[in-house]
Amino acid sequence: LYFPGYWGVKNDGDSYPQDPEKAGEILKKLNYQDPDGDGILEDGEENKLSLEILINEGNESRKLASEQIAEDLRKAGFEVTVRQEPQDVYLRSLQSLNYDIYLGGAKMGENYDLRYLLRSYSGNPAGFANPEVDGALDVLRSMKDPDSKLAAYKKVRSILQEELPYYPLVYKTYGVLTSVDFLGTVQPLFFHIYRDADTWSYHRTIPVADAPEQEGEKSEENPI
């Protein structure tokens, strides 16, 4: 959940590389079989291995993503349906944990406090609860000592990789466009695109009035 390189910790790549075929093999070792050859695995009582993917209506990117995820899960032997709900119903389903898998989004604040997603019994949409994570998250938000914060982050990161309450798919990125007339260094942060804007200025060329004797241009520099 923390962006790659957070607190200077190297990103080691995906701990769970995608492999639907291998997933199907593991399920078969757990005694899920496909006796009728329809591609859907069943348990010993002929119950099909099925699940739903919950998404909110009106979000085309999540709809496309859910269809791709469903297709890959079918390759592993699952029977999969995508459940689309109006936004208010979708939120109620998350609150009551009425889903198998859901696709959602989270907007991170400047302080990157993830307690609303991870703190035990806080109503987080994954129903995640882990006292060790609770303590480490509190340290991340309250301690000023960098070493303590780094140790707490590494603990959270390790537990999340093991228990996997969420599986991040993508970070949305945004481009910042500037004019060639800008003077100063533009160095935006992902949560603060106007960083150091008080030091910027711009150079503009203003056409002089239309009178023939005044033809030409003049320049001026202005602070932002």
Mean predicted confidence (pLDDT) in 44-58:
95
- Output the six-digit token pair for 155: 């603990």
Alpha-carbon gap, residue 3 to 98, rounded angstroms: 28
- Output the six-digit token pair for 114: 């993830």
Mean predicted confidence (pLDDT) in 9-27:
88
Alpha-carbon gap, residue 124 to 116, rounded angstroms: 6
Contact between 160 and 129 (Cβ < 8 Å): no
Residue 175's pLDDT is what?
72
Q: What is the dihedral of CA 67, 73, 75, 80, to 10 degrees?
A: -70
Residue with tokens 């492999």: 19
- Output the six-digit token pair for 167: 């599986």
Sheet of 50-56, strands arranged across: 79-85, 50-56, 101-102
pLDDT in tens, 61-72: 999 999 999 999
pTM above 0.85, yes or no: no
Residue 218's pLDDT is what?
58
Residue burial 88-109, b: 16+ Cβ < 10 Å; e: rest: eebeebbeeeebebbbbeeeee
Higher pLDDT, 181 or 169: 169
Helix, strand or coil, per DSSP, at residue 97: coil
Mean predicted confidence (pLDDT) in 156-175:
88
Residues 6+ apart with CB under 8 A from 178: 186
Alpha-carbon gap, residue 116 to 24, rounded angstroms: 34
Alpha-carbon gap, residue 149 to 171, rounded angstroms: 23
Q: Residue 153 — pLDDT band, cuts 50, 70, 90? A: very high
Residue 170's pLDDT is what?
86
